[in-house]
Structure 1
Amino acid sequence: MYKLLEQTVGDHMTRDVRTARRDLDLLDLSEMFERDDFNSYPVEDDGRVVGIVTKFDILRCFAFTPTQTPARYHDLMSRKVGDVMTPEFIYVSPDTKLTRVIQIMVEYRIRSVIVLNSRQKLVGIIAREDVIAALKATARD
C-alpha cells in the first residue's frame, strides 16, 4: 500500500497520445474509436488542448425525447468534434500522485485524464487500465 502512495502519473501514463481535431466529423471519430480501442481523445487546436471527446459524446447526439424528431443518421454523424466535445476538462500533471487520479476517476466517473506539463502542453493520458495495471504491479511487489 505504501508503494502506491509514492506512485505518480508520470510513472504510468501513456505518452504516445493520439488526438482528435476539432473539425473531424463524428463518422471519422467513430472509426478512430474502433481502430484504436480508446474511450476518449484529447482535442487539439494549434498545438493546445481545447477539450476532450468521448464515445459518450457520440451517444449523446442520438439521445432523443419522445417529443423530439430524430435527425437523420448521416446528419448526426456529419457533426464535428468541436460541436460535441467537452471544452471543460479535468487534467493532471505528470507529478500528480496516482492516488489523486483514482479519486478523480471515482468522483467524476471518468475513464481517462489528460496529462499536461507546466506549459499546458499535452504530454500524456492516464486511463483506468493504466491505473489498474499500476495497482496490480504494486500488489505483486
Structure 2
Amino acid sequence: MHSFLEQIVADHMTSTPKVVTRDLTLRELCDLFQRDDFNTYPVEDRSQVIGVVSKLDVLSRFVFTPARIMPRHDDLMNLTAIDVMTPEFIYVGRETKLTRVLELIVNHRIRSMPVIETGQRLAGIISRSDVLRALQRCSHGA
C-alpha cells in the first residue's frame, strides 16, 4: 500500500479524453452524455480548457422556481456548452500525487477532473475509477 503514496497522475490518467467545444448545444450534449455515459466533459476553445460541463450543469437549467420563469424547451436545448459550463473548476497536473487527487475527489465529491499542462492545454483526465484501480493494484503489489 505504501507504493500508492508515490503514484502520480501521469501514470493513471486517460491521455486522450473526449472534449466538447464551447458552441455545442444542450441537445448535442444530452446525446453525448447518453451515448458515452460520462458525467463531465472538459470544454475547449482554441485547444485550451475554458471550463467543464457536467450532467448536473445541464439538468440545473431545467429547475424552475417562482423566481425563474420556464423558458421554451427549444430555447433551453439550443443553449451552448459555454452558457451552462462551470468556468472555475478543479484540475491537477501530470505530476500531482494520486493521494492529492483522492483528497480532491472525496472533499469536493467530484467524479473526474482535467489534467492540465502549461497554457491551459488538456493533457488528460483522471477519474474515481482510475484512482480505485491504482489503489487496487498497489494493494496487490502489482
TM over 0.5: yes
Q: Report the TM range for the smaller structure's normalisation.
A: over 0.9
Contact 1:48/1:122, CA 8 A, preserved across alignment: yes
- Give the TM-score normalised by the residue count of structure 1: 0.94
Aligned equivalents of 2:50, 2:15: Cα separation in 1: 18
Contact 1:49/1:121, CA 8 A, preserved across alignment: yes
> How much is the aligned-residue C-alpha RMSD, in angstroms?
1.3
Q: Between the two proteins, what is the percent identity of the paired residues? A: 50
Amino acid at match of 2:56: F
The answer for the alignment partner of 1:70 in structure 2 is: 70
Deviation (angstroms), 1:66: 4.1
- Give the TM-score normalised by the residue count of structure 2: 0.93
The answer for the alignment partner of 2:98 in structure 1 is: 98
The answer for the alignment partner of 2:135 in structure 1 is: 135
The answer for the alignment partner of 1:44 in structure 2 is: 44
Q: Secondary structure of the residue that 1:91 maps to in structure 2?
A: coil
Aligned equivalents of 1:54, 1:76: Cα separation in 2: 16
Aligned equivalents of 1:39, 1:90: Cα separation in 2: 15
Contact 2:48/2:119, CA 8 A, preserved across alignment: no
Q: Secondary structure of the residue that 1:92 maps to in structure 2?
A: coil
Structure 1: which 4+ aligned runs deviate by more than 6 Å? Answer: none
Deviation (angstroms), 1:84: 0.5
Deviation (angstroms), 1:125: 0.3
The answer for the alignment partner of 2:121 in structure 1 is: 121
Structure 1 stretch 58-67 or stretch 93-102: which is displaced more?
Answer: 58-67
Structure 1: which 5+ runs fail to align? none
Q: Secondary structure of the residue that 2:65 maps to in structure 1?
A: coil
